[in-house]
Amino acid sequence: MKTKHKTGIEILNAVAKKTGVPLNQLKIALPVFWSEILEAIQDGTEVRIHGFGRFYVNDRPGHYQEIITGWDKKTNKPVRDRMYCRPKKRVRFRPMKYFKEAVAELNIKTFGDQAFNTKERFRK
């Protein structure tokens, strides 16, 4: 099953139709909107959009990860080594309660009671 998606221009056309704001102005405003969010995130500021969600930076500390570099032919066991992964900053998105409820309502409409009866489905 192919997933549905909307492109940015389709969303801009819908906003222009619903608000009456010309599409040319929206094409200018949207990149400015995203650049403001990006600048705030680069400064380490959390961005909250009411009813939608919040964007924030999550610091992941450096850590060692065990990797397999080869096989020992005598014992037929893997040769293990440790690799250092440097610290990283990742942008995270957390949806707000209204947004989560809207998606949950969509699940109920689409799947009915099956969305909540997962234990019964996997009990077999």
Tell whether 23 is covered by a domain: yes
Tally the domains of the chain: 1
For residue 11, is it within any domain?
yes
Q: Is residue 10 part of a domain?
A: yes
Q: Give tens-digit pLDDT for 42-66.
A: 998 999 988 888 999 998 889 888 8
Average pLDDT, the chain: 83
Element of type H or E holding 77: strand 77-85
Phi-psi region of 44 (alpha: psi -120 to 50; beta: other; left: phi over 0): left
Residue 41, number of CB atoms within 10 A of its CB: 17
Could you tell me the residue range of the domain that residue 29 belongs to? 1-45
Q: Is residue 98, in this structure, part of any structural domain at all?
A: no
CB atoms within 10 A of CB 90: 9
Domain assignment of residue 27, yes or no: yes
**pLDDT tens by residue, 91-108:** 999 988 888 888 888 776
Cα Rg, the chain, nearest whole Å? 23
> Which pLDDT score is estimated for 122?
47
Q: Does 107 fall in a domain? A: no
Structure tokens belonging to residue 2: 């192919």
Least confident of 18-22, 27-31, 62-66, 119-123: 119-123
Assign 8 a pLDDT band (cuts: 50, 70, 90). Answer: confident
